[in-house]
Structure 1
Amino acid sequence: MNADLRDSDGAVKATVGAYGRPEATASPGDPAGSRRAATWIRRHGLSAGLALVLSYLVVFPLVRLQYLALQDGGRAYRDAFALPDIGKTVLTTVALGAGSLVISLVAGVSLAWFALRLPRRWAWLSAIPILPMVLPAVAVVVGWASLLSPQVGYLNIALRKLPFVDVQAPEVGLPSGPLNVYSIPWIIVVTGIQLTPLIFLFVQSSLRQLNFEAVEAAMVAGASPARCFLGIVVPLLRPAIVYSAAFAMLLGLGQLTAPQFLGTREGIRVLATEVYRFGGESPTDFPLAAAVASPLLLAGLAFILIQRVSLRRDFRFVSTGAKGTSRPGKPSRLAAPVIALYGLFTLVLPFGALALVAFSSFWTGMIDVDAFTLKNFERALSDESIIEALVTSITTSVGSILIALPLGYLLAEVIYRRRGNAAVRTILDVITQLPLGIPAVVFGVGFLYVYMGQPFQLYGSRLLIVITYVVLVLPFTVRLQLTARMSLGTAYEDAARASGASTLRAHLTVVVPMMRGAMAGASVLMFVILTHEFAASLFVRSTNTQVLGTLLYDEWTHGSYPMVAAVGLIMSAVTAAGLVVAVWVGGREATLDRL
């Protein structure tokens, strides 16, 4: 409670603040308007400034694109509806989103359940379902292509040697099949595998907080483990399943990596590839790209709304009792084999095929150990364009983290402490979550258009890549730091302020060190996302400014498959090294399984 200090004449000289320190007040001669302005700036300046900055960075490119699409009486929308096979493109997009969601949901929930029931000596296997998220998506996709290419895929060649596989040899060319990675079903499978770690992380975190007394009681009553899982555990996991499923569906609908690498050969198109065709390739048609991207925007808003409605009565999913103090019955004998088989299918096979291509002079599908060579790696590490792309990938990722981390801290502090106007805080909260619901391709084409002209001509610069990356990772750094801030509370900060520390010193010397683990975890997650980022990077790169993912795609389109495989392995090594450094700096709490 504030108190006034008055002189002998009764005039107010100063105001004593909440921590016992005098606060300066305006002199009687100051205009009332100046005093009100100073008070407003002190109370709402930070939140209002952040809202303005984020509105320009996040909202303005999206609004600008839609304004383009609506010009000339909605000409772009008419052109979009008149595109050949647009209906087939939309149906393929829906099939990709729904199919990959089903695969990732079933696999992610099952793996999370089996990971919890691993015998203690096999507990280390619980890290395997996370690894596909850590490895670069473009490298994984190229690995699947090396494995399942119809003519020279290593697995196809092995399958054709089996007596019960009947493959007719063509009159001209190599035998083909029986599997074809350049088809819609396999694009869906590869995308579903990439989304599985996301479901796994959400569900595993919720499983660790559940009380399994109800499960044990059901087992004592005679229920089988499968019935307990489907009838008790799954309903209790509904919040985590709904949230992760909505997020995975959005990522599947806006997926560009697998369709662009695997679908172009057979003419398979989804909305994301169409956005890139009109907005990222020459000649560009930004209004048409914006019109084609509109269904992705609407889908994001719709799924976010459905998620909020589905979880509006979240108290129904609370299990009473001590959380996480009991295990769901005896360890399962199937847990270790199932997770090991998943690791073999999603990690060992595709990356083994990628390594075989990388160490070969030519990709023929035949394995000749005596002909293995390191010349692809030597060429990659001596190629100036590849070295430049590697440096760009690292510097833009690290630079984006250095910007996004303190920006996320400020946003988390404003939202947590409820500083500033309530409407402004709500706007901040909504804006920071937009990149979660809007596919990266939409932001990519938006940034490309906005920053190609006045007043900021940033096309072809690393700064444009950094701005794009900061926007894409903002939701993750804000949510992780906000969760840690809520757990920390205000007691330590208040104690520091009462001891005479300024607001800045209290945060730098007390709050920030206590949030080191959360910040390190956010840095790890951001580094993983940014080093793998491909969709938005494909728009904002230029011929002279590339990251490893976009350079790998150019090599892929030119048919340099051994070089593509070598660059893919280099990308994986860079990601692994970055994770080791981040975990070393942040400690054990920086590991991905604690995010």
Structure 2
Amino acid sequence: MAAGVALPDTLAGVPARQPRAAWAGKAAVTLLAAGTLFVVFYPMLVIALRALFPQGTFDAALWRETLAAPDLYVAVRNTLVLAVATTAISVPLGTFFAWLIARTDAHWGALSRLLPVIPLLLPPVAMAIGWLFLADPRAGFLAKPLVAALASLGLALDPNDFAIQSWPGLVFLYVLWAVPHVYVMTAAAFGNLDPALEEAASMCGKGRLRIFWQVSLPSIRHAVGASVLMCMISSVGLYSIAALMGTAARIDVLAVYIYRLLNFSYPPKTGQAVVIGLLLMLFIGALWLAQRKLASRTGAATLGGMGVRANRVELGGWRWPARALILAYVVLTSVLPLLALVVVALQPFWRPAIDVSVLSFANFQELFADGTGRAAIVNSTLLAVATSTGVVLIAGLLAVVAAALGGTPEKALGIATKLPSAIPHIVFAVGVLIAFGFAPFNLQGGWLILLLAYLAVYLPTASIAAESAVRQVGGQLVEASRVFGATPARTFWRVQLPLILPGLAAGWASIFALVLGELNAAAILSGPRNPTIGYVILTLFDNGTYSQLAAIASIIGIVSAATVSLVLLLGRPRYQG
């Protein structure tokens, strides 16, 4: 029997209490689902009604005006190219790293579990700024010396060929941001995989790569499919990297296009933004249904009632090359931009030449001396903890309930929890402001309105991780718990939750890092009265104070590194000890 499952003590007296306990559990789940759906759908309904039916009738002219804009199709094309390229590169890379670390002897204990998630420690905008410090052709720490060295050898190249503000640079940053999210989802699934499958394949004479390709990978196809869906959804709605690098490279995407409709048009073209959001809802819903259909065509390797023990595929002579590959990934995509941020944070202002004599902690002291910066760090940390905990528990419980219901109710609940991902965060934030910022709720300017927005915005991410974890757990333990007379609530807390905890912990870590540096909703809902790190980042970036931006990004890295590391360590499968 798996760890954390103790069923015999539930026999005494349970049948007499079961009807009342079962009724209370169903009522609690119903209220939770109703409250969640209200927070998710009410803002969407309010903004859609105000935009599409301003006078109580459907406005067809709004749709014609929206779809007739030529810039829209350019943004759609660029967004699809970025989403497909990001998914095609990130999913195989993140999954392969997860297999190397979770299932082979290439790991280095707890340290190797943290290496691929280092990019999670910075918000996307700060990570993009770090690479700007490195690869800007005029003042980048790497690009400028490289151009000078090539010129000294007689190779006079255009510095713009090395610019991060380009299609290759944009795809690289999107992949850099997406790989750790794929890793945390697939690593949790690999950690739950029964080692007997790989042992049997090894005894049959299969090689290491064939074991990975034919046994390990198909066994976690639900997690892989979930990571594909997450990459597509998140790439479509990502604003910060596209706004920073894409705008400089004249590459417009949908998130930036919608932001301009809301912030650079007078009056704001909220109606057009909502029309685009509704179309994205249909697109994301179709993706989700397609992913479920593909995943259901074949069976899945699941956790059964037997305990499992740690087992590693021996790579032999490939172990050190595999470790070198992981280290190279970390150095090239995480360590260098982090070092660039620290160096710029210690400089009075950003310059490519590093003068040790002028380095100081003045930017950090100025940041902490500012009441707004100090409050932003505290607010964002508390909001990240509350959002991650709340949304993961809600998504985990709803995923268990949906799996128990099956059929049409399961599909409907799955679609409902994915719909917020189809609305760009900045558009959803406008809906939250209209729905909850004024009478009768009057939450504008407080932390609660940010929490409601974050819970709805990151519910799809938590839902994808929870569904993947729940689908990998077999039904034997649940059936055994019910035979022994346990209520559904007790079965969830004592049987299912311990088994899906690694997947939920992975989702928690991803959401915590995302909320800590959230930028899109903060642009609408945060301000001087309720500052967040995203609000401070926007202010510093608009003012061009890169040293201050690097300082707050370094602080985010420290807070996020400690928290994410602790959660991933505590959330690892207990039988791996």
> In the alignment, what sits opposite 1:33?
none
C-alpha contact 1:355 1:565 (8 A) present in aligned 2: yes
Read off the aligned partner of 2:512 and give its amino acid letter.
Answer: F
1:343 aligns to 2:330 (yes or no): yes
> In the alignment, what sits opposite 2:436?
451
Deviation at 1:232, TM superposition (A): 6.1
- 247, 254, 261: which is aligned to 1:278? 261
> In the alignment, what sits opposite 2:558?
573
1:554 aligns to 2:539 (yes or no): yes
Mapping for residues 119-518 of structure 1, pairs under 5 Å: 119=106, 124-163=111-150, 164=153, 166-167=155-156, 176-208=159-191, 209=193, 211-213=197-199, 216=202, 238-280=221-263, 283=266, 284-315=268-299, 325=311, 327=313, 330=316, 332=318, 333-401=320-388, 403-404=390-391, 407=394, 411=398, 414-415=401-402, 427-435=412-420, 439-475=424-460, 480=466, 483=470, 489=478
1:20 aligns to 2:8 (yes or no): no
> In the alignment, what sits opposite 1:108?
94
How many Å separate the matches in 2 of 1:392 and 1:68?
A: 31
- Greater mean deviation of Cα atoms: 253-262 or 526-535: 526-535
Q: Deviations over 1:66-124 (max 9, x none)?
A: 44454453333222223342222111111111121122123223323443444466784
Deviation at 1:443, TM superposition (A): 2.8
- Greater mean deviation of Cα atoms: 284-293 or 130-139: 130-139
CA gap 1:443/1:509 in 2 versus in 1, 3 angstroms: closer
CA gap 1:542/1:490 in 2 versus in 1, 3 angstroms: farther
Mapping for residues 72-87 of structure 1, pairs under 5 Å: 72-87=58-73
CA gap 1:497/1:61 in 2 versus in 1, 3 angstroms: same
Deviation at 1:214, TM superposition (A): 6.5
CA gap 1:271/1:513 in 2 versus in 1, 3 angstroms: closer
CA gap 1:373/1:282 in 2 versus in 1, 3 angstroms: farther
> In the alignment, what sits opposite 1:50?
32
Secondary structure at 1:60's aligned position in 2?
helix
C-alpha contact 2:285 2:418 (8 A) present in aligned 1: no
How many Å separate the matches in 1 of 2:407 and 2:87?
A: 36
CA gap 1:486/1:267 in 2 versus in 1, 3 angstroms: same
C-alpha contact 1:361 1:376 (8 A) present in aligned 2: yes
How many Å separate the matches in 2 of 1:178 and 1:347?
A: 22
How many Å separate the matches in 2 of 1:247 and 1:120?
A: 26
Deviation at 1:217, TM superposition (A): 6.1
> In the alignment, what sits opposite 1:60?
42
Secondary structure at 2:142's aligned position in 1?
helix
Read off the aligned partner of 2:170 and give its amino acid letter.
Answer: I
CA gap 1:358/1:493 in 2 versus in 1, 3 angstroms: farther
How many Å separate the matches in 1 of 2:77 and 2:174?
A: 16
How many Å separate the matches in 2 of 1:549 and 1:327?
A: 42
Deviation at 1:334, TM superposition (A): 1.4
Secondary structure at 1:264's aligned position in 2?
helix
C-alpha contact 2:387 2:512 (8 A) present in aligned 1: no
C-alpha contact 1:159 1:165 (8 A) present in aligned 2: no
Read off the aligned partner of 2:563 and give its amino acid letter.
Answer: G
- Greater mean deviation of Cα atoms: 508-517 or 74-83: 508-517
Q: Which has the larger radius of gyration?
A: 1
C-alpha contact 2:121 2:513 (8 A) present in aligned 1: yes
Read off the aligned partner of 1:240 and give its amino acid letter.
Answer: A
C-alpha contact 1:297 1:438 (8 A) present in aligned 2: yes
CA gap 1:415/1:23 in 2 versus in 1, 3 angstroms: closer
> In the alignment, what sits opposite 2:81?
95
C-alpha contact 1:524 1:591 (8 A) present in aligned 2: no
C-alpha contact 1:97 1:252 (8 A) present in aligned 2: yes
C-alpha contact 1:103 1:189 (8 A) present in aligned 2: no
How many Å separate the matches in 2 of 1:286 and 1:135?
A: 31
How many Å separate the matches in 1 of 2:376 and 2:255?
A: 24
Secondary structure at 1:455's aligned position in 2?
coil
How many Å separate the matches in 2 of 1:517 and 1:542?
A: 36
Q: Deviations over 1:118-138 (max 9, x none)?
A: 446678434311221243323
- Greater mean deviation of Cα atoms: 544-553 or 61-70: 61-70
C-alpha contact 1:109 1:200 (8 A) present in aligned 2: yes
Secondary structure at 1:327's aligned position in 2?
coil
Give the TM-score, by structure 1 length. Answer: 0.78
Q: Which 5+ residue runs of structure 2 have no aligned equivalent? A: 1-12
How many Å separate the matches in 2 of 1:456 and 1:185?
A: 46
C-alpha contact 1:251 1:439 (8 A) present in aligned 2: no
Secondary structure at 2:164's aligned position in 1?
coil
Deviation at 1:565, TM superposition (A): 0.6
Deviation at 1:360, TM superposition (A): 0.7
Secondary structure at 1:89's aligned position in 2?
helix
Q: Which 5+ residue runs of structure 1 have no aligned equivalent? A: 1-16, 25-39, 170-175
C-alpha contact 1:416 1:486 (8 A) present in aligned 2: no
CA gap 1:21/1:353 in 2 versus in 1, 3 angstroms: closer
How many Å separate the matches in 1 of 2:251 and 2:528?
A: 26
CA gap 1:197/1:534 in 2 versus in 1, 3 angstroms: same
Q: Deviations over 1:126-177 (max 9, x none)?
A: 43112212433232111111111121111111211323574468xxxxxx44
CA gap 1:67/1:370 in 2 versus in 1, 3 angstroms: same
CA-based RMSD of the aligned residues comes to: 4.3
C-alpha contact 1:275 1:290 (8 A) present in aligned 2: no
How many Å separate the matches in 2 of 1:548 and 1:129?
A: 24
Larger RCO (alpha carbons 8 Å, 6+ apart)? 2
How many Å separate the matches in 2 of 1:480 and 1:219?
A: 35
Q: Deviations over 1:373-427 (max 9, x none)?
A: 2111111111122112112212323343564466557646755776xx9977765
Aligned residues between the structures: 545
- Greater mean deviation of Cα atoms: 235-244 or 176-185: 235-244
State, as a whole percentage, how many aligned pairs show the same letter: 23
How many Å separate the matches in 2 of 1:355 and 1:102?
A: 32
Read off the aligned partner of 1:588 and give its amino acid letter.
Answer: L
> In the alignment, what sits opposite 2:9?
none
How many Å separate the matches in 1 of 2:39 and 2:321?
A: 49
1:537 aligns to 2:519 (yes or no): no
C-alpha contact 2:33 2:398 (8 A) present in aligned 1: no
CA gap 1:369/1:354 in 2 versus in 1, 3 angstroms: same
Secondary structure at 1:212's aligned position in 2?
helix
